Amino acid sequence: MNGNSGYWILASALWAACLIKAPGLRHRRNSPLSTTVCGVLLLGGIAYCCANPDVIGWVNGATGVPNFSAPLVYSLLTAESALILTLLVYWREGPEEKARCAARRLQAVYGLVIVALVVLFVIGDAPVEQRTDFDTYYAQTPYIREMILLYLTAHTGAAVTATVLCIRWFAGVTGPPWLRRGLRVLILGFALNFGLDFSKFAAIGARWAGHDWDTLNTLVAPLFAFTCTLFTGLGFILPVVGGRVSGTLAAVRTFHRLGPLSRALRAATPGVVAELPVPWWEIDLRLTRRVAEVQDGRLSLRPYRDAAVAEDALVRVRAAGLSGAVADAAVEAAVLAAAMAAKAAGGDAEAVEAAAERDDESAELPLLDREALVRVSGLFRAPRRAWQAPRSAPASPLHTRTTRP
């Protein structure tokens, strides 16, 4: 690994981020926002690849122009700046047509900047190849000097605009937590561009004043460039990756917390168990199946549900002075436990079901949401507390409106 490996690492990181975002394009083919995000990451990777001194030497040699890479890299970075501002416009603007018009204006302005960069390079004179210190070496060369200053001005303008827009957006955003975290990282990434541009401006100004501050351009500026690129790329993918990871972890937790209730119902009502295996990595599908099996198990035990058990559990809950969702879970756990015991003892399901229908033909067993099922399952971890001495609170409408749960 040589001193230029950082360019390859950054380019690879940006391309990897692009690959992470790319699958979403299949579902949002007409979304300019998704397309622009991928464009920023892809173009950023290409720019860092071309900014690698090894690649600069190869491009210059292949074209026969000593510093052909200079306008090439400047143009790529300018185009990336335009795409970043376009992306922020799509994020911020409301009506899509308004966003498209603003994006077109931005692209037109930065397109003219790219044309001017090429023209200035063509009419200027840069015969000596400079792979790492082009900016300071030609800081006083007519037209080449203007090309360098134009690029830095456009880059600084984009950095200021992007930082301000992100700060304003962050102040008013009420979206998912990972979106806010991503914005924080983006703000830091864009702000680090100021260090990059200041280092280059200072090195160029020193050349004009007859001093040698080239280290700012050759060592300090690249450090800022690498750091801000890493933070910017991370900021773009953090809302997506963070959201996915959080969702997966939440699904895993819910799946395992439903385990006690699921195992009890599977043992009591084996007919509800699905036979088709599900891969271990398909956690969302496994969770969906577990919830479905639990709901089916509750329905299968309906003939054995006893209103007297629910009433007794309700009395215990009220005596404990508890209320709300935990109380509902304790009553449901008591009813399910008694129903499982009745079924295991060989109760007459048909007679019980017929009696239930005579009492209330319209009574139905409501399905519980995942949070409610998790609370019931938690009580199955401590059976005595769940249905013999419940420590939860007053009954829910489920237990007060019907005569038979």
The 3-class secondary structure across 284-318, one letter per residue, is HHHHHHHHHHHHHHHHHCHHHCCHHHHHHHHHHHH
Concatenated DSSP letters of 58-79? HHHHHHT-TTTHHHHHHHHHHH
Predicted local confidence at residue 47, as pLDDT: 92
Delimit the CATH 1.20.1070 region(s) of the chain: 5-238
Predicted local confidence at residue 78, as pLDDT: 95
Q: Scan for tokens 């979403």, then name that residue.
A: 24
Distances (CA, A) of 70 to 4, 56, 60, 211: 17, 8, 9, 23
**pLDDT tens sequence across 391-402:** 333 333 333 333
Contact 358, 364 (CB under 8 A): no
Predicted local confidence at residue 119, as pLDDT: 97
Predicted local confidence at residue 95, as pLDDT: 55
Half-sphere exposure of 405 (CA within 13 A, CB side): 31
Angle value at C-alpha 178, between 172 and 181, nearest 5 degrees: 65
Q: Which of 327, 312, 338, 335 is nearest to 375 (CA)?
A: 327
Please indicate, yes or no, whether the overall pTM of this predicted structure exceeds 0.95: no
Contact 87, 161 (CB under 8 A): no
Q: At 250, is the secondary structure helix, strand, or coil? A: helix
Please report which helix (H) or strand (E) contains residue 393, including its range: none
CA 149 distance to own-chain centroid: 37
Predicted local confidence at residue 391, as pLDDT: 39
Predicted local confidence at residue 382, as pLDDT: 54
**Where would I find the beta strands (DSSP E) of 22-63?**
none
Q: Scan for tokens 């709901």, then name that residue.
A: 295
Distances (CA, A) of 402 to 130, 299, 306: 85, 16, 12
Predicted local confidence at residue 23, as pLDDT: 75
**pLDDT tens sequence across 212-229:** 999 999 899 989 988 998
Architecture, CATH, for domain 5-238: Up-down Bundle (1.20)
Q: Which residues of the chain have pLDDT under 70?
A: 1-3, 27-30, 93-95, 322, 347-363, 381-405
